[in-house]
Amino acid sequence: MACNANRVPFLRVIARRGFSAAANPRPLGQPAQVQTKVLENKVVVASAESQLPVCRVSITFRAGARFENYESLGASHMLRIAGSLSSQNATAFALTRNLQQKGISLSVTSDREVVSYTVESTLDSVECGLHYLQEVVQPAFKPWELSDAVPWIKTQVAAVPPQVRAVELAHKSAFRHGLGNSVYIPKFHIGSLSSETLLHYVANNCTASRCAVVGVGLEHDTLVGFARSLPLKSGDGKSDASTYHGGDARKDTPGNYTHVAVAGPGAGVSNQKEALAFSVLQYAMGAGSFTKRGNVNGAMGQAVHAAVGEGNFAFAALNASYLDAGLFGFVVSADAQKVGKAISAATKVLKSGSVSENDVNRGKALLKRAVLEAYGTDKDVLTEMGVQACLTKQVQSADALVSAIDSVSAQEVQAAAKKAGSSNLSVGAVGNLSHVPYASELV
């Protein structure tokens, strides 16, 4: 059975023009150079050269979990599920068969800010990929398909790692609503969100002014033409700001292990200077081990290691930046008998608001490495482009970001540390909570 996308003349032109992108692929590891354009309908289009003869295109909407209200909690999770279900013009069978026939990968991801639909294909199959990418952003939410997906959704929710659950609870205690909404559907809404509720959510949030189309391995003009062909409605949708509160969200489970996320207020990406200071602080405090079975460097990681000793534990600094707000703190997993000591040690460092010059320099070096690594691979640069284009309406080059990181001063990093540590903390905890302190006890 031939791919139905062959019947679309405009996409056939896109496919032919896209072949020229393979002529000069980007050398492996070299940061991608990005082109950006804002269309008349406010859709942001960004493109970069590819390292391989593979096209990757994403349509990203500001339709993440923060835009859900109580009645639509879990809608963004259902958008991830709907990526493999029928659209307005194509059945689930047609989507699956035609994409698999061409060897095309389709995925849907989401977080608290955005929902992204992505296709990956070879250049000779990009015609089919773009056709069905255009289809999946128009979900049908057929009631019988939603009903059939319930066991799958329950499995996904049950398989969420406890560390992730702790971070989700920390967001809930920090923001309560908006950014406090989980990226996973609550159990009481599994199977109860109607087609009308989901279609209303899509109509309000998946609009042209909240959309970005990004691609790697496709000519910029070609991508602009594809973006203009998308059947997107106008409208600004919901954009309420989230307020930081602080507090506790705890879930007791059986066992002898505990997972805890503790955080204070961070920075939003709308304030790039402050957001970069918090990113440097994350790596300075200890963003995880960078060598296999190695210890976590940084004042916070070393303090946790000293408190726990040789016991089994895992630790990483937490930095979550959204458009207008953020969280900064740490995540620790340890034996229930020792987790209290680990939390107290890490909180003491967080509350101190002190960062050494050496830690700041190390944090800047590690952050620059992370930026260059993200811009050096097609998959990561596509994700980075989609988030930046959707939230800030522009995409910065790797060189610009590295230069901005170099300009971050030790005083700005100190100010970020004091902001996070001087406020009421938020605690999310899962597991054996017999030795987990409450937020009011973390002084």
Predicted TM-score of the model (pTM):
0.89
In terms of Cβ atoms closer than 10 Å to its own Cβ (0-12, 13-18, 19+), residue 152 is exposed
Residue 356 lies in a domain: yes
Task: Give me the torsion for CA of 151, 155, 156, 161, rounded to 10°.
Answer: 170
Domain holding 299: CATH number? 3.30.830.10
Q: Does residue 423 sit in the same domain as residue 375?
A: yes
Residue 172 lies in a domain: yes
> What's the pLDDT at 10?
44
* pLDDT average, residue stretch 398-414: 93
- The closest alpha carbon to 315, from 330, 298, 294, belongs to 330
Q: Does residue 204 sit in the same domain as residue 264?
A: no
* 243 vs 180: CA distance, rounded Å: 10
pLDDT at 30 over 90: no
Q: Does residue 217 sit in the same domain as residue 251?
A: no
pLDDT at 18 over 70: no
pLDDT: which is higher, 410 or 27: 410
3-state secondary structure of 205: helix
What angle separates helix 339-352 from helix 299-308, to the nearest 10 degrees? 150
> What's the pLDDT at 12?
42
Domain coverage including residue 266: 247-441
Q: Of 11-20, 104-113, 149-158, 239-248, give the lowest mean pLDDT range.
A: 11-20
Q: Does residue 295 sit in the same domain as residue 387?
A: yes
Q: Provide the mean pLDDT of the chain.
A: 89
At 173-231, the pLDDT tens digits run 999 999 999 999 999 999 999 999 999 999 999 999 999 999 998 899 999 999 999 99
Task: Write the CB contacts of 7 (distance below 8 Å, at least 6 apart in sequence).
Answer: none
pLDDT at 417 over 70: yes
Q: Does residue 212 sit in the same domain as residue 282?
A: no
Residue 1 lies in a domain: no
Residue 8 lies in a domain: no
Q: Does residue 169 sit in the same domain as residue 277?
A: no
Using the CB atoms, write b or e for 266-295: b if 16+ within 10 Å.
Answer: bbbbeeeebbbbbbbbbbbbbbbeeeeeee
Please say which residue of 171, 195, 229 terminates a domain: 229
H/E stretch holding 328 = strand 326-335
Residue 6 lies in a domain: no
Please say which residue of 229, 260, 289 terminates a domain: 229
Backbone angles phi, psi at 408, to 5 degrees: -70, 125
Q: Does residue 110 sit in the same domain as residue 198?
A: yes
The alpha carbons of the chain give a radius of gyration, in whole angstroms, of: 23
Q: Parallel, antiparallel, or unpaired: how do β-strands 247-252 and 426-431 relate?
A: parallel
pLDDT band (50, 70, 90) for residue 16: very low
Residue 133 lies in a domain: yes
Q: How many CB atoms lie under 10 A from the CB of residue 67?
A: 24
Q: Does residue 134 sit in the same domain as residue 260?
A: no
Q: Of 10-14, 62-66, 324-328, give the lowest mean pLDDT range.
A: 10-14
Residue 18 lies in a domain: no
Name the domain count of the chain.
2
Q: Does residue 41 sit in the same domain as residue 166?
A: yes
> What's the pLDDT at 17?
43
Q: Does residue 103 sit in the same domain as residue 220?
A: yes
Q: Does residue 286 sit in the same domain as residue 173?
A: no
Give strand pairing partners of 37: 45
pLDDT band (50, 70, 90) for residue 443: confident
At 277-334, the pLDDT tens digits run 999 999 999 876 666 666 667 888 888 888 888 778 888 999 999 999 999 999 999 9
Residue 324 lies in a domain: yes
Q: Does residue 266 sit in the same domain as residue 127?
A: no
> What's the pLDDT at 141?
96
Residue pair 408/273 in contact (Cβ under 8 Å)? The answer is: yes
pLDDT at 21 over 60: no
Please say which residue of 229, 259, 289 terminates a domain: 229
